[in-house]
Amino acid sequence: MKFLPTFLCIGLLVLQSCSSSTDDCEPGPLEFPNQQGEIDGTAYANSLLDCRLPKVQTFEINNHQGAEIFANQGTIFTIYPNIFFEIDGTPVDGLVTFSVLEMYNPGDIIACQLSTNGLNEAQSVEPLLSESILFLSASQNGNPLMIEGELMVFIPSENRDLELSVFNSPSCPDLECEVLWEKLPRSTVYEEPYTDAAGNISLGYRSFLNNLGWYSIARYNKSEEERGILYNKAHSPYSLLNSKVFLKYDSNSTAIGMFSEYDEVNEVFSEKYREIPNNTSANVIFVSKPENHFNFEASEVITNDGVITITRDLQIGSESELIDYINNL
């Protein structure tokens, strides 16, 4: 790893373990609870779609009439008439299946192996501050469709007066992608509440989308703090082949980074891009799935260049237990 500090290598060599409460324990290598044998990574790789697919909601729309769609977590779509077409440009008659994946809480995002990592104004990667993550698709009789024109989306949010933009994932638009967000040029997001027929008001933001695929309504992190890199030490046999490490900011908006580099010599995950602002309160979250259950742990951290967290005492649980654990941090 190009930027791995020397003190990390030294520090890992002097770690000791002790199986007794007495003072005469023999020095030795660091031992961890729940020590694991070899992990091929298949279960964790499969958990990506196992997490995302059940959360996809489907709606039937008459293409000639359009519709207003209310998703489970408060996202509202205004579908205008005659915007769905076959991929070759042929107009579509009759019913269309419109599918929505919406994510607002960090537990769902991390369990489904997503992040808010995006290209910032310097075209480097860092966690964006996001109000929502969406995946949209449409089909008729199992055949994928596209849209021509626009649909309107309402994103519920209690956060006021934000300067937001629309981000998408041009490098990988499919449901199973590891998304990297890029700002859509000339996108417009405006704050306007939604009022239902009974007069109930939901605060939030609106925008217009002219394509299907991945979207996030988000903003850049304008922190003026100096920026740096973070590390996480997890014991063998964990690596990027079978695990992921996330960084979740303590923020009213959702900001989740994903570590993307692993040093096999020192068994250390790193954030890699050196774009994490110092003095940010956060949690480093390790997640793996060796077989049927997830292994996970969070470490509180105040970010600073070169800070190392160590994953020691892994918890074991189901996907729902992982999600609750993260949401309660």
Q: What is the pLDDT of residue 38?
A: 82
Read off the pLDDT of each residue in 314-322 and give the average, rounded to a whole number.
97
Report how far residue 142's alpha carbon sits from residue 6's, in angstroms, rounded to the nearest whole number: 55
Report how far residue 100's alpha carbon sits from residue 72's, in angstroms, rounded to the nearest whole number: 10
The tens digit of pLDDT for each residue in 12-37 reads 433 333 333 333 334 334 444 445 56
Helices 42-52 and 319-327 pack at an angle, to 10 degrees, of 70
Residues forming a β-bridge with 127: 117
Identify the helix (H) or strand (E) that includes residue 7.
helix 6-13
Report how far residue 236's alpha carbon sits from residue 266's, in angstroms, rounded to the nearest whole number: 10
Q: How confident is the prediction for the chain on average, in pLDDT?
A: 90
Give the domains, in start order, of the chain with CATH numbers.
Answer: 6-48+225-327 (2.60.40.10), 55-219 (2.60.220)
Nearest to 134 by CA among 167, 96, 178, 95: 167
| Confidence label for 271 from pLDDT (cuts 50, 70 and 90) | confident
**DSSP output for 238-305:** -STTTEEEEEEE-SSSB-EEE--EEETTTTEEE--S--EETT-EEEEEEEE-SSSSEEEEEEEEE--T
Identify the helix (H) or strand (E) that includes residue 33.
none
Report how far Cα 56 is from the mean position of its chain's Cα atoms.
16
C-alpha distances (whole Å) from 49 to each of 39, 53, 62, 75, 111 are 19, 6, 29, 22, 10
The tens digit of pLDDT for each residue in 93-126 reads 999 999 999 999 999 999 999 999 999 999 999 9
**Looking at 71-221, which runs of residues are DSSP E strands?**
76-79, 84-86, 95-103, 117-119, 125-127, 129-140, 143-147, 151-156, 165-168, 182-183, 189-191, 194-195, 201-202, 204-209, 213-219
Q: What is the pLDDT of residue 14?
A: 35
3-state secondary structure of 146: strand
- Tell me the one-letter amino acid at 213: G
Identify the helix (H) or strand (E) that includes residue 106.
helix 106-111
The tens digit of pLDDT for each residue in 191-237 reads 999 999 999 999 999 999 999 999 999 999 999 999 999 999 998 78
Q: pTM score, two decimals?
A: 0.88
